[in-house]
Structure 1
């Protein structure tokens, strides 16, 4: 590791993976506006868009956040790699930047502490006038501290109003994060009410808030789950208030049942058993009566059945719960699995395994059981030292679901009992081959066969399968990236084939992908000693593509 920083290039490659690390190398020149703080580093990376990156050094290692789509999924992306590499290049200056950041923080704290009450008040008012979100948050906290319940309720529900963020009646992805931050203030206010002895009020407002958010949630592009997290926290705040205030149990049970049986229940993730203490015997009895009536009226209803299952678990009625499941066993074995899980939770493991094994036997022979059922049985067999009995189950699972995951499960199990040999592997690979159709073009869909060969590290066999038509463009690219050093000519051929269709398209995403492929192609030419051929290729490409100004700028940025 770097003496100044808690990471080095090897750590970055581990965090990002080889492919993202290699792509990050090409973006170092696109890093700008970098700020090095005490424990974090922020910067802008020019990609398809101007992406904001934040790196944080924590006790358990380096973490990275990026506003690009891949980064927003929680991955340490190529843009994070580019910023980290830039920091490594400037490692000697990092202590100076951190010392300066510490000094600025102390200076700001000292300055604030030296201001009078009137000066601080004037400063806060100045920022309130220019920041609507800050004003709303402070107004809410002021109202929460007062005695006007109507004002508190109005402020909390106002925070959940989507209209200021909605374009054409819909909160788009770009606005969902800002809305989520504002809505989160409602959670803070509800918890403040509970903590300051106003839990009864918090119960009432929380119900209104949950229903308000659930009604509008369908009109929000919550791809990142920010607003969904707020909904979950609202439900948690309601539960906390109920446990403190102990509201009328029958009325609370009615609200919970109505919520869970309505169209809004899935948004918050409310679980009725969590309310068992607040409901008491009277509330649980009311909920059970309502749920039973609903299930009688709609025996096939998913919400009705799930609510009854929750209640039976809360009441500890294991045998009644098993009878409920057993009355409508699914051909996938999914209900067999539910029975097995409930029996195991009740401390009846032998019965649990019997039901799971029965599920395997009774599952639809054409489509096979729910994939979780073999996992359940195999895990129990493994614990009992019955590893040899696991292998046949994994073989059957692969026949039903010819995926990389199923192949890995069989490989891991067979290795553990010493029977993963060439015969076993060949049979498994042929199972995957039989599920795929070779084709001449790159095609939109790849095959688990190529994925399995790549996962085995058998690159030569992966090349043969790809050449026989079993790979899609993504798998071809992965194969080229993995073997570029050993087979630069073959990899170059792949990159050029992938580049061709992109030359007829436009758009920032296309230009970014095209640039990455060209960088890879250049690396192959360098390995082959044919850099002059690449220079000629790029001259021709630039001439043909000269009208695409954004592409030209991107090529210039990367020295292409």
Structure 2
């Protein structure tokens, strides 16, 4: 579960495990590392193990070295684990029995004692009391307090390490809203849920919700609001107005509310009002994302014509042709294939100069050309794309299309390589990743041409070394010059990655000398290098590890 690296590191933390407690269901422990971390291990009924740790690596969902250390500590006392679990179950039963034997007064005293020391518990019970005693003001205040990010925020932002705790607290707001509805106060729940949705929507952009926990809370709030509306049956027109305002408000992206989930609540008067508001909003701002989504959703729900949908999309065409593709798909689904292809072709023509065409749009057009036997058309599209934005992927696509049309070997390939050569002149080539020309020639397995291009200045270190690896069995002398060339600058560098890289290059050089039958020369070179670098103990250890 941990992987070799975390497992190996966990071995070094066995002495850092403390406060190990083996419960009947959960094992908990504290592990001292860079900080003090809390670990939980759970084994389900099928024997599957899961672990959680509040260290940064563990909070990303990984079975970290601290979980490993706690688990190995438990395994170190495996013989006693069944007895410890049995004892924990006995303690739980004893506590239950003791609580059941207390008088009402004793239990109240015990609860009040805990409330004095635990503010979170006090807030949760105050919320339950407000729900039970019909005090909407307190319930509202407590629910909004549960959604307040300030206690968890650092410099106004809830970081990943704190988001889990905030999510657990915020989830209680969902429970409280549902309790209001269950207690016969659905109308109050509707109003409080609206405020809660807005509060979380405003805060959501300031939370690192990588695990989606806060998104789940937002979904829960939306569901609690819908449940309350179905029970309370608020004014349909006013509800429609609130829903449309909510869905058009950019701070409410976190809540996944669908207007038509409320169809039963809104009835025909509410739906009519919602339709009126959505159309007006779209006409006022046809490029707005929310407005566009709502009008599209409205048309589909109402069974609107495909031409109406096309008009909506055509009002705001994306510069990379993606919207043309959306329109083409709608038309094709409606059985209007010819018009669909026209829109897709138009999308390719209208791509703005600063943008690359949408990959899916290109594929859409090429696939339909191929089905119609228009292979030359596919080649032309792929050729134009290579000329506009030279890349290995564009070269590969052109090669595939041209081979299908029996037009690759000869002028088409030669023209493509000229495009790459012109784009990657040595004084203008990319600083990172080498030249596309060399990558394309290697991809073609044309190693002689790739070597010549590299010699002409078109290759970076990565490409030179990749070429050396490919040719060293047949041209060991050429490959050897490459390895030796890139070893030399590493003599002045330090660091684990440098030492590993030097070892890899030396292994390549040794392979070349073996093929050439000059192993004694390599031994002399290696001995001189080790003597020159002998003060770098880590490098010497790395070379020893690789048998050098």
- For the residue of structure 2 that corresponds to 1:161, the secondary structure is coil
- For the residue of structure 2 that corresponds to 1:206, the secondary structure is helix
Kindly state the Cα deviation for residue 132 of structure 1 after the two structures are TM-superposed. Answer: 4.4
Match of 1:3 in 2: none
Q: Paired residue for 1:321, among 270, 291, 309?
A: 309
- Partner Cα distance (1:404, 1:45) in 2: 49
Q: Is the 2:325–2:343 Cα contact (8 Å) retained in structure 1? A: yes
Q: Paired residue for 1:110, among 77, 87, 90?
A: 90
Match of 1:358 in 2: 345
Q: Paired residue for 1:275, among 251, 262, 266?
A: 262
Length, aligned pairs only: 498
The question of 1:149 aligning with 2:136 is answered yes
Moved more, 266-275 or 486-495: 486-495
TM-score by length of 1: 0.64
Kindly state the Cα deviation for residue 181 of structure 1 after the two structures are TM-superposed. Answer: 3.0
1:201-260 deviation digits (Å, cap 9, x = unpaired): 332222101111222334445566554453344334434444554432211211122123
Q: Is the 2:286–2:316 Cα contact (8 Å) retained in structure 1? A: no
- Partner Cα distance (1:386, 1:242) in 2: 57
Match of 1:372 in 2: 360
- For the residue of structure 1 that corresponds to 2:200, the secondary structure is helix
Q: Is the 1:332–1:370 Cα contact (8 Å) retained in structure 2? A: yes
Give the gaps of 5 or more residues in structure 2: 101-106, 474-478, 511-522, 539-548
- For the residue of structure 1 that corresponds to 2:253, the secondary structure is helix
Change (3 A) 1:350 1:299: closer
- Partner Cα distance (2:35, 2:430) in 1: 28
Match of 1:16 in 2: none
Match of 2:250 in 1: 263
Change (3 A) 1:233 1:132: same
Alpha-carbon RMSD across the aligned residues, in angstroms, is: 6.1
Change (3 A) 1:500 1:432: farther
- Partner Cα distance (1:141, 1:46) in 2: 38
1:157-213 deviation digits (Å, cap 9, x = unpaired): 101112222344444454344323322332333344456655443322221011112
Match of 1:4 in 2: none
Which residues of 2 match residues 220-259 of structure 1 at below 5 A? 220-222=207-209, 226-259=213-246
Moved more, 97-106 or 212-221: 97-106
- Partner Cα distance (1:494, 1:71) in 2: 39
Change (3 A) 1:440 1:402: closer
Change (3 A) 1:201 1:363: same
Which residues of 2 match residues 406-425 of structure 1 at below 5 A? none
Match of 2:323 in 1: 335
- Partner Cα distance (1:342, 1:37) in 2: 58
Change (3 A) 1:62 1:496: farther
- Partner Cα distance (2:12, 2:441) in 1: 32
Q: Is the 2:465–2:482 Cα contact (8 Å) retained in structure 1? A: no
Match of 1:187 in 2: 174
Match of 1:306 in 2: 293
Match of 1:555 in 2: none
- Partner Cα distance (1:281, 1:311) in 2: 14
- Partner Cα distance (2:158, 2:528) in 1: 52
- For the residue of structure 2 that corresponds to 1:183, the secondary structure is helix
Return the structure number with greater relative CO, CA threshold 8 A, min gap 6: 1
Change (3 A) 1:139 1:533: farther
- Partner Cα distance (2:150, 2:221) in 1: 20
Kindly state the Cα deviation for residue 47 of structure 1 after the two structures are TM-superposed. Answer: 10
Change (3 A) 1:137 1:156: same
Q: Is the 1:404–1:451 Cα contact (8 Å) retained in structure 2? A: no
Give the gaps of 5 or more residues in structure 1: 1-6, 13-20, 504-513, 543-560
1:346-386 deviation digits (Å, cap 9, x = unpaired): x436367335533445323744533332244456678x697
TM-score by length of 2: 0.65
